[in-house]
Homo-oligomer: A and B are copies of this chain.
Amino acid sequence: MKISFIGLGIMGLPMAKHLFEAGYLSKVYNRTKSKTKIFEEKGVQISDSPKEAAQGADIIFIIVSDSADVKEVVLGSEGVLEGARPGSIVVDMSSINPEVSKKIGQELAKLDVEMIDAPVSGGEQGAINAELAIMVGGAPSAVAQVRPYLEVMGKSITHLGPLGSGGYAKLANQVIVGIELQAVAEAFHLANHAGLDFEKLYEAIRYGLAGSKVLDQKIDNLISGSFEPGFAIDLHLKDMKNAILAAKEQNLHLPFTQELKALLQKMSESGYGDLDHSGMYKFIRENA
């Protein structure tokens, strides 16, 4: 089985390393070539284009930033589409608009290349520890073929349906997390003005219906007032833009998601974009 990996960013680099360590990695491509060095030293073939990475590969993993980047990598000049052989499988692990995934999948299908979307949750630490939650959409036979390789990178692999289903699950995840963070921000803002101690408040509510992973993982940031990422506000903004784009294509109105997108946009424009997304609390504290 020949496996290629495209995109060696914060997430992609540790993920590709896991594939390499398991003995699965044949070729890598990254736009910034310096990042490929550690693989070159290990004898992995370095490609000059996505096309070259796709040539001769059975499975082509991709993890880049957003819809436009995936489009460029797959459909652009010197893209995957130009190199992939019939019967191969493209696995896009980027977090993008799932409607774009479907359209790219249609182009690949014309050449008998399968496409799977498999965005991840768990952040850089999850990628480093091979503990990602991977949300998978695609044809069952193709998903079965790639599952052993996904298991090298993640700890839970959930097949949700056809191509695009992985992306929708990821968007649902991000909608919940983002709106929850704003809920916590407003609740703690109110409590702060009422003079409440955040540790006591956390103790009072954590075991009840207000208890959540968001609260458990972000309470230290709220207490310390320090919002190092983590997962940046600008990245969450990207996800909310994709959620709204996807919702619009289905004629759905998601009022709080829409509002969150606008709010994150404002935060980004006000210089909060590099903060951890729990920095929504800092924004309301300093601006409301």
A273 within 8 A of B: no
Rounded to whole angstroms, the CA-CA distance of A159 and B135 in the bound complex is 42
Check if B196 sits within 8 Å of A165, measured CB to CB: yes
What range describes how many residues of A lie at the interface? 35 or more
Task: Output the least CB separation between A99 and chain B (Å).
Answer: 9
A259 neighbours in B (Cβ, 8 Å)? 255-256, 259
Contact A176 B171 (CB under 8 A): no
Residues from chain B with Cβ under 8 Å of A42 in the complex? none
CB distance from A42 to the nearest CB of B (A): 31
A contacts with B: majority SS: helix
Instruction: Report the copy number of this chain in the oligomer.
Output: 2
Indicate if the CB atoms of A190 and B246 lie closer than 8 Å: yes
Q: A191: CB under 8 A from chain B?
A: yes
A215–B172 Cα gap in the complex (Å)?
12
Contact B197 A160, beta carbon cutoff 8 Å:
yes
User: In whole angstroms, how far apart are the Cα atoms of A98 and B121 in the complex?
Assistant: 39
* B-binding segment of A8-16, A50-58, A138-146, A206-214: A206-214
Check B205 against A133 for contact (C-beta < 8 Å): yes
Q: Nearest-CB distance from A247 to chain B (Å)? A: 6
Q: Is the CB of A194 within 8 A of B121?
A: no
- Does residue A180 face the partner (Cβ distance < 8 Å to B)? yes
Pairwise interchain contact B213-A169, C-beta atoms closer than 8 A: no
Least CB distance from A169 to B in Å reads 5
Q: Are B209 and A217 in contact (CB under 8 A)?
A: yes
Q: List 29 A-B contacts (CB under 8 A).
A: A121-B205, A121-B210, A133-B207, A156-B204, A158-B204, A160-B200, A160-B204, A161-B195, A161-B196, A168-B194, A168-B196, A169-B204, A174-B210, A175-B183, A175-B186, A176-B187, A177-B210, A179-B186, A183-B256, A186-B254, A189-B252, A190-B246, A190-B247, A190-B254, A193-B250, A208-B213, A209-B214, A252-B288, A254-B284
Query: Knowing that A175-B183, A183-B256, A190-B257 are A-B contacts, what are 13 other residue pairs whose CB atoms are under 8 Å apart, sorted by A's residue number?
Result: A122-B208, A158-B204, A169-B201, A172-B205, A173-B204, A175-B190, A176-B212, A190-B246, A194-B246, A209-B217, A210-B213, A211-B212, A256-B256
Chain A residues engaging chain B, CB cutoff 8 angstroms: 98, 121-122, 133, 135, 156, 158-162, 164-165, 168-169, 171-180, 182-184, 186-191, 193-197, 200-201, 203-205, 207-215, 217, 243, 246-247, 250, 252-257, 259, 263, 284, 288
